[in-house]
C-alpha cells in the first residue's frame, strides 16, 4: 500500500530528478561524477564496453542497396594539401572512399593539385586554396558535400589559413559537419572562437596538437596523469565540441561522456595514420548524423562515429603490421581498410 507520505516523497523525488536532469542538460554532469561513472568499473568492463560501442557503430552503417544512387552514401571534402604536404590530404580523401563514401574531393593549394591527381584517379581535386577567391570557390561545392575534413597537409601559411577560416565559417553557416585535424587544429588553437559551441565539429588532435589546444583554451598545461579529465575539460571549455585525443589509447569525449578505444594496433608509428583516421571519420560522421540518436541508443552520434574511426584505424594498423612488420606504411594500412571494416563492423 502506498501511504500519502510515501506518495509525497515519490513526487518530491521525481521533481528532484527532473530538476537534476534539466540542470544536466544545461550544464552537463559534474566532471568528477562523469569520470567516476565512466571509469570506476573500467577494468572489469572495458572489453564489454568496446563491444557495446562497436555494436552502435554497426547500427549507423547504411546497408548497401541497389536502390541508392551515387552520392547518397557520402560526398566528402578534404581541405588541405600544400607544396610541402601532398600525402596527408591524399590519405584522408582515399580513406573516405575506401570506407564507403561515393565521392571524395580535395580542396588544396595549386602546387599540390597535380601531385595529388597523379596519386589517384579516384579523387576530385580542386586547386583553389591559394586563390584570392578560395572561400567562394569552395562555397560553391558546399551544398553538395555531406562533411568536410579540414587540415591534413594544410601547412601554416597565413594566407591559406585565412582562407580556411572563411571556409569554416561558411560550413558552419550551412550546418555542415567538420572534422578538424593537423594544421586545422593549429588554426583553432589561434582562434578557438571559430568552432566554440559548434555541435557538428569533431577535433582529432595527436599528443602535440592536444597540448597546444589545451594550453590555448584552458590557459594552462595538460595534466599528463589525467588524460580522461583533460579531454573532458577541453571538450567542455569548447562548448561540448567532440574531442578525440589520439595515443596509446584514444580518449574521446563530448563533455558529457568519455569513451576509450584500445583496439589492438601495433607499435609501428609511421606518419599518415592520423590522416587515415580523419578521412574515415568524415564518412562516419555523415552516416551517424543521418542515423540519429535512435540508432546510437542515446549516445552522441558523433562520439559513436569517432569511436568507429579510431577502431578502424587501429585495426588497419594491426593487420598491416602482421603482413609488413617494421616496413608497414600508411599505404599498407589503407590497403587493409576493406578487410578491417568487415572484421569490425560486418560480423
Ligand X SMILES: Nc1ncnc2c1ncn2[C@@H]1O[C@H](COP(=O)(O)OP(=O)(O)OP(=O)(O)O)[C@@H](O)[C@H]1O
Q: Site for ligand NPW (CB under 6 A): which residue of 46, 120, 196, 206?
A: 206
For Mg ion, give the closer residue by CB, 60 or 284: 284
For ligand X, give the closer residue by CB, 216 or 290: 216
Nearest approach, Cβ of residue 118 and ligand X (Å): 21
For Mg ion, give the closer residue by CB, 81 or 229: 81
Q: How far apart are the first and last CA of the chain?
A: 50
For Mg ion, give the closer residue by CB, 153 or 229: 153
Which residues here bind ligand X, judged by CB under 6 A? 182, 206, 246-248, 250, 265, 269, 271-275, 277, 310, 313-314
Residue 236 partner contact from Mg ion, ligand NPW, ligand X, none using kind-dependent CB cut-offs of 5 to 8 Å: none
Which residues here bind Mg ion, judged by CB under 5 A? 182, 274
87 binds ligand NPW (CB under 6 A): yes
Residue 246 partner contact from ligand X, ligand NPW, Mg ion, none using kind-dependent CB cut-offs of 5 to 8 Å: ligand X
User: Which of 200, 199, 196 is CA-nearest to residue 237?
Assistant: 196
Question: E-strand spans in the chain?
Answer: 75-79, 103-108, 124-127, 147-150, 178-180, 201-203, 242-245, 250-253, 258-261
83 binds ligand NPW (CB under 6 A): no
For ligand X, give the closer residue by CB, 179 or 182: 182
Contact 180, 202 (CB under 8 A): yes
What does each C-alpha distance from 5 to 10, 12, 189 come to in angstroms? 9, 10, 56
Residue 273 partner contact from ligand NPW, ligand X, Mg ion, none using kind-dependent CB cut-offs of 5 to 8 Å: ligand X
For ligand X, give the closer residue by CB, 248 or 346: 248
d(CA 97, CA 102): 6
209 binds ligand NPW (CB under 6 A): yes
Residue 183 partner contact from ligand NPW, ligand X, Mg ion, none using kind-dependent CB cut-offs of 5 to 8 Å: ligand NPW
Nearest approach, Cβ of residue 269 and ligand X (Å): 6
Nearest approach, Cβ of residue 7 and ligand X (Å): 52
Nearest approach, Cβ of residue 84 and Mg ion (Å): 14
153 binds ligand NPW (CB under 6 A): yes
292 to 331, contacts with ligand NPW by CB under 6 A?
A: none
d(CA 269, CA 282): 22
Contact 82, 111 (CB under 8 A): yes
Cβ neighbours of residue 90 under 8 Å, at least 6 residues apart?
81, 106, 116, 119, 120, 123
SS3 298: coil
d(CA 326, CA 317): 11
What does each C-alpha distance from 165 to 93, 155, 186, 270 come to in angstroms? 20, 14, 11, 29
Which is it for strands 75-79 and 103-108: parallel, antiparallel or unpaired?
parallel
Q: Please, which residues bridge with residue 251 across strands? A: 245, 260
Q: Site for ligand NPW (CB under 6 A): which residue of 275, 310, 332, 334?
A: 275
For ligand NPW, give the closer residue by CB, 178 or 288: 178
- Sign of CA pseudo-dihedral 233, 313, 225, 189: negative
For ligand X, give the closer residue by CB, 135 or 305: 305
- Site residue total, ligand NPW (CB under 6 A): 18
Q: Please, which residues bridge with residue 245 across strands? A: 251
271 binds ligand NPW (CB under 6 A): yes
Amino acid at each position: 500500500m502506498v501511504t500519502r507520505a510515501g506518495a509525497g516523497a515519490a513526487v518530491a523525488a521525481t521533481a528532484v530528478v527532473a530538476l537534476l536532469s534539466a540542470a544536466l542538460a544545461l550544464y552537463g554532469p559534474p566532471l568528477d561524477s562523469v569520470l567516476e561513472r565512466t571509469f570506476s568499473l573500467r577494468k572489469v568492463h572495458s572489453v564489454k564496453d568496446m563491444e557495446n560501442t562497436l555494436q552502435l557503430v554497426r547500427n549507423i552503417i547504411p546497408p548497401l542497396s541497389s536502390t541508392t544512387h551515387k552520392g547518397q552514401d557520402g560526398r566528402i571534402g578534404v581541405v588541405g594539401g600544400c607544396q610541402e604536404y601532398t600525402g596527408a590530404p591524399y590519405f584522408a580523401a582515399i580513406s573516405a572512399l575506401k570506407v564507403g563514401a561515393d565521392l571524395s574531393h580535395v580542396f588544396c593549394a595549386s602546387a599540390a593539385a597535380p601531385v595529388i591527381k597523379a596519386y589517384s584517379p579516384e579523387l576530385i581535386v580542386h586547386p583553389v586554396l591559394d586563390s584570392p577567391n578560395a572561400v567562394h570557390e569552395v562555397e560553391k561545392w558546399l551544398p553538395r558535400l555531406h562533411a568536410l575534413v579540414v587540415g591534413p597537409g594544410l601547412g601554416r601559411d597565413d594566407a591559406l589559413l585565412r582562407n580556411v577560416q572563411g571556409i569554416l565559417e561558411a560550413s558552419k553557416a550551412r550546418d555542415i559537419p567538420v572534422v578538424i585535424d593537423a594544421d586545422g587544429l593549429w588554426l583553432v588553437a589561434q582562434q578557438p572562437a571559430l568552432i566554440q559551441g559548434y555541435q557538428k565539429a569533431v577535433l582529432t588532435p595527436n599528443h602535440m596538437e592536444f597540448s597546444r589546444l589545451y594550453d590555448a583554451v584552458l590557459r594552462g598545461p595538460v595534466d599528463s596523469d589525467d588524460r580522461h579529465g583533460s579531454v573532458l575539460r577541453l571538450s567542455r571549455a569548447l562548448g561540448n565540441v567532440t574531442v578525440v585525443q589520439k595515443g596509446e589509447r584514444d580518449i574521446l569525449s563530448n563533455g558529457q561522456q568519455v569513451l576509450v578505444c584500445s583496439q589492438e594496433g601495433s607499435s609501428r608509428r609511421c606518419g599518415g595514420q592520423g590522416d587515415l583516421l580523419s578521412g574515415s571519420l568524415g564518412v562516419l560522421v555523415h552516416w551517424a548524423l543521418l542515423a540519429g540518436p535512435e540508432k546510437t541508443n542515446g549516445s552522441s552520434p558523433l562520439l559513436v562515429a569517432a569511436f568507429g574511426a579510431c577502431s578502424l584505424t587501429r585495426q588497419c594498423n594491426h593487420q598491416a603490421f602482421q603482413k609488413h612488420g617494421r616496413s608497414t606504411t600508411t599505404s599498407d594500412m589503407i590497403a587493409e581498410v576493406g578487410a578491417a571494416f568487415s572484421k569490425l563492423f560486418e560480423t
